[in-house]
């Protein structure tokens, strides 16, 4: 019986070879950022309101003119076919059934045209590689296939150093050490699916199916991206994409304000799930500063570290329009394919509705920052400004106001 995401994580560890589980579950270097994401979420508590009518609860939200059934979706994740052959399509179908968005990664293992599910909410995540023609053909195809929004990931000028992958010999071309081969042999069900499907590839790198090269695939796996891409490069993207454009990987309020000035349509506060800069601020700690910086003029989303509906509720109270979930869906996918992913989405939805009712909120937007309390001293300040030494019990809203005053003082 699986009662929570951690149950699915333990089950995924059992059914996957170690190198696959480590790729899904791992993070950069020592895993400090990964752990910080969780620790900072756990420091926050919600202070319920009482005697409010919660006889009917509506968790739905509207984003860019579309109705989401829940204030969460599936974050872009690469190499989903490694954990389960056909994983991208399974995740997309599970999201469509749940009425939530699915963001397809540039590093997906299925053609974007095949993943698009009728009636689903489909966004495309973009890595801009050194050859910008790759991005251009992706955008042409995504428009033709009906993708509704573009998510530009901006926190990967190069790949984070993922020690668990290095130890397991996980790279392209794949030449696993003997210990990895022995471990693979101990997972016959995964191995049988792998042998039937073959090594998953990054099949969207070329416009014509089957034209991807091993060199391009290895470059994407190692994140050999266009490090010359800057704020002015957004104009190049805008000429090719006329739908909503979001930036993923924003932590600093100054970057949020610049994005607003440049006409970006939305932000995703993220540290890439702890897979990039190991000393980066947690996403939940950065969220209030980013939300305040844009003053409600564009939607702010968040990912990195979220494992429950209660976690989602905390983010909503701190100003997020919605949360994007990553690893929990991959655990469910590994355990039971599309059904497992759907079960995780339903689990998060049930936990969220329970949290809303117990907080006295009849809809997702009724959660307020004043309902959030920190549980420890030293709640991190927003990007780069140091800890403010918030006393236990201070509201996150009070912290955000103090941070804004300090930032203004530094700028004068």
- Any idea which residues carry the catalytic annotation? 272
And the tokens for 218? 């290895």
Integer Cα distance of 121 and 62 in angstroms: 12
DSSP classification of residue 125 = E
How far apart, in Å, do the first and last CA atoms of the chain sit?
57
Integer Cα distance of 296 and 299 in angstroms: 7
Q: Long-range contact list for 119-122, CB < 8 A, 24+ apart? A: 120/92, 120/93, 120/95, 120/96, 121/66, 121/68, 121/73, 121/95, 121/96, 121/148, 122/92, 122/146, 122/147, 122/148
Whether the bond into 173 is cis, omega within 30 of 0: yes
Integer Cα distance of 72 and 328 in angstroms: 12
Integer Cα distance of 231 and 247 in angstroms: 11
Q: Could you count the other beta carbons within 10 Å of the beta carbon of residue 233?
A: 14
Integer Cα distance of 143 and 244 in angstroms: 12
User: Counting runs of H as helices and runs of E as strands, what totals does the chain give?
Assistant: 17, 12
Integer Cα distance of 159 and 289 in angstroms: 26
Count Cβ atoms within 10 A of the Cβ of residue 88 and give its class: 0-12 exposed, 13-18 middle, 19 or more buried: buried
Helix (H/G/I), strand (E/B), else coil: 326: coil
Integer Cα distance of 239 and 241 in angstroms: 6
Residue 369 and residue 319 in contact, taking contact as beta carbons nearer than 8 Å? yes
Positions of E strands within 106-160: 121-126, 149-153
Dihedral, 169, 216, 102, 347 alpha carbons, nearest 10: 0
And the tokens for 395? 């509201």
């Amino acid at each position: 019986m699986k009662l929570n995401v951690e149950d699915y994580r333990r089950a995924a560890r059992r059914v996957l070879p170690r190198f696959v589980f480590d790729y899904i579950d791992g993070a950069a270097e020592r895993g400090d950022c990964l752990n910080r994401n969780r620790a900072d979420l756990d420091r926050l508590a919600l202070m319920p309101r009482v005697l409010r009518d919660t006889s009917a609860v509506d968790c739905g939200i509207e984003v860019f003119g579309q109705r989401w059934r829940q204030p969460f979706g599936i974050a872009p994740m690469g190499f989903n076919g490694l954990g389960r052959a056909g994983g991208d399509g399974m995740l997309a179908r599970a999201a469509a059934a749940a009425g939530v968005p699915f963001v397809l990664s540039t590093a997906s293992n299925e053609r974007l045209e095949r993943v698009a599910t009728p009636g689903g909410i489909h966004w495309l995540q973009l890595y801009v590689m050194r050859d910008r023609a790759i991005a251009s053909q992706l955008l042409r195809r995504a428009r033709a296939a009906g993708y509704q929004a573009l998510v530009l990931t901006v926190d990967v000028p190069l790949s984070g150093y993922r020690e668990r992958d290095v130890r397991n010999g996980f790279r392209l071309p794949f030449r696993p050490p003997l210990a990895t081969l022995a471990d693979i042999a101990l997972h016959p069900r995964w191995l049988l699916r792998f042998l039937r499907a073959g090594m998953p590839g990054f099949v969207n790198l070329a416009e014509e199916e089957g034209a991807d090269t091993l060199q391009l695939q290895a470059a994407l796996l190692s994140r050999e991206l266009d490090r010359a891409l800057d704020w002015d490069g957004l104009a190049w993207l805008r000429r090719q994409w006329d739908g909503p454009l979001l930036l993923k990987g924003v932590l600093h309020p100054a970057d949020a304000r610049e994005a607003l000035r440049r006409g970006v349509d939305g932000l995703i506060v993220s540290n890439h799930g702890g897979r990039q800069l190991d000393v980066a601020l947690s996403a939940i700690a950065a969220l209030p500063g980013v939300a305040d910086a844009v003053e409600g003029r564009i939607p702010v989303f968040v990912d990195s570290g979220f494992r429950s509906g209660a976690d989602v509720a905390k983010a909503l109270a701190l100003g997020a329009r919605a949360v994007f979930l990553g690893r929990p869906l991959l655990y469910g996918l590994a355990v039971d394919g599309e059904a497992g992913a759907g079960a995780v989405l339903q689990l998060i939805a049930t936990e969220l509705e329970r949290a809303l009712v117990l907080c006295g909120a009849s809809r997702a937007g009724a959660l307020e920052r004043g309902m959030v309390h920190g549980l420890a001293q030293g709640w991190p300040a927003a990007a780069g400004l140091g800890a403010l030494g918030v006393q236990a019990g201070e509201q996150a809203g009070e912290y955000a106001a103090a941070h804004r005053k300090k930032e203004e003082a530094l700028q004068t």
